[in-house]
Chains A and B, each alone.
Chain A
């Protein structure tokens, strides 16, 4: 047992976290990888099994063509080399596989290389993606439901043989946020190409993290631990940080990190070493004699390319392109526009922004309205009439509606649809005529001479109070920025 070492909280000054992820995604096929049993989540246990997926003597596996198509699509989307591949048997004795081996791809996987671009522009390398069959689902009974202390286990083989694609990243991730962003981005790509439903809560997407630490500036990688049981993006982030902090604590105490597999305990917020006998990693891979190689041909690759839609990175780049067209420089990807662009693409609303811009909306305004307001109701926003939304943006940009009024009209558009000009007219929403804002400011200044005096004397923080009063007096018709401009003008004259 390791000595009791106080684990610090990440980040630890002077140390760097290095992580690579293995993402297992269940492919959205109708049937299993090697037999015609249904690939379905939540069916009555052991109703989707047959001699092939139970490994009964005399049965022969035949590869599912659709699983190959989907794997090729993922490969194309990640820029991988999609190539001739082989199946191996990975031998181990564990009741989650009735055959005592799992059919997987070993040294010749179907996809090799590639990369993925995070929303902030950072590129994460892909090592490989390989096809394999999923295992059955074991439930530990007795004790506290964990493996240790359980009196026995129950096994459902409905999942045994379901097609999985395991996608392995390079150790390019440097923080918990990046690890989460990587999985979110990969998930979006898998859903976009139709390879997965992306439901982490149903186990459609499962993540293992390889974590190591090193001193900032070191070029060599530290010894890594593989962390399993990461069932959500939140677990992933917490586990990666905790594991990095644990390793730093071990090293600072003069110890060495043992390469091992560790289990994340969500309720305790820590990783614990999994009990494993030394031979557990000796899987004695050998070529699966019942399966011949699978070699994607030109026609398959052509179909895969045709089936890959515009991916999130390209959609974000398109929005950045629209934004920079309006201004004179490339907008900062990491700043507020970057976050808005990422949010809009993640909610599948970039078409709304692009469509509005095509119809004369100011890019930054359309982006802000969609990211900040419409994205709160993504379903309604996806049904929003693009021309109506564009019209609303044009009205706001032309000063016909204040920002507050435009948001009100947008709310009505999202709830009921309609014509923005008619909605505004029916509700008496119109920006104040020229001079009216000055009128309200004069009135507020007269009513609050003390605050007004402080404003003129240069006290910045009283601005919020004065703007708020003007907004209230105008019944929300005044535009906040316009009010502020009048206040500034009054002070510069004083």
Chain B
């Protein structure tokens, strides 16, 4: 039987999630993720034709708040959380790199 998830797919998902996985970890996770997918496949095997899709486990809709301004954080506190700051803003490495 075809494995549920290939090593390459695990590597791809890890890259998307910015996870640096070692080569041997890819094999371990491929197995573990396959187990998760097997579990989901059990559900997929059921006849759900008569079951409406569930958007959320809570039977709620329209949880709203009034459009009223509330105090924001002190920018000094906010910027203290930044790895680096300049001119009142978060300073980050250049984006997308290369030229």
Contact = CB atoms under 8 A, between A and B. Distances in A.
A398 B45 CA distance: 84
Contacts of B43: none
Contacts, number: 141
B99 A149 contact: yes
A295 B63 CA distance: 10
A153 B83 CA distance: 13
Contacts of B89: 45-46, 139, 154-156
Residue from the set A155, A157, A292 with the largest chain B CB neighbour count within 10 Å: A292
Interface in A182-216: none
Interface residues of B, number: 38
A252 to B, nearest CB: 30
A151 interface: yes
Contact of A37 (B60, B70, B81, B99): B70
Interface string B54-86: 011010111111111111110100110100001
B27 to A, nearest CB: 22
B64 A31 contact: no
A152 B92 contact: yes
B94 to A, nearest CB: 5
A48 B89 CA distance: 12
A294 B67 contact: no
A490 interface: no
Given A152-B92, A154-B90, A47 B16 contact: no
Contacts of B87: 45, 154
B98 interface: yes
Contact of B96 (A139, A142, A147, A287): A147
A256 interface: no
Contacts of A66: 66-67
Chain A, interface size category, equals: 35 or more
A427 interface: no
Contacts of B4: none
The listed residue with most A CB atoms (<10 A of its CB), out of B12, B62, B72, is B72
A292 B63 contact: yes
Contacts of A147: 94-96
Given A139-B89, A152-B94, A46 B67 contact: no
Given A45-B87, A154-B91, A293-B56, A51 B73 contact: yes
Contact of A44 (B15, B60, B61, B88): B88
A91 B99 CA distance: 25
Nearest to A47: B75
Given A50-B72, A84-B61, A152 B93 contact: yes
Contacts of A91: 16
B60 A292 contact: yes
Question: Which of B15, B67, B91, B99 counts the most chain A CB atoms within 10 A?
Answer: B67
B88 A46 contact: yes
Contacts of A297: 62
Nearest to A139: B89
A94 interface: yes
Given A46-B88, A153-B95, A293-B55, A279 B15 contact: yes
Contacts of A294: 61-62, 64
Contacts of B98: 148, 275
A292 B56 CA distance: 6
Interface in A59-95: 62-68, 84, 86, 91, 93-95
Contact of B62 (A31, A48, A295): A295
A38 interface: yes
A44 B87 CA distance: 10
A287 B55 contact: yes
Top 6 nearest A-B pairs by Cβ distance?
Answer: A36-B70, A66-B67, A65-B64, A154-B89, A155-B90, A95-B92
Interface of B: 12, 15-16, 18, 55-56, 58, 60-73, 75, 78-79, 81, 86-96, 98-99
9 contacts: A36-B69, A36-B70, A46-B90, A49-B72, A95-B95, A153-B92, A157-B90, A287-B55, A292-B60
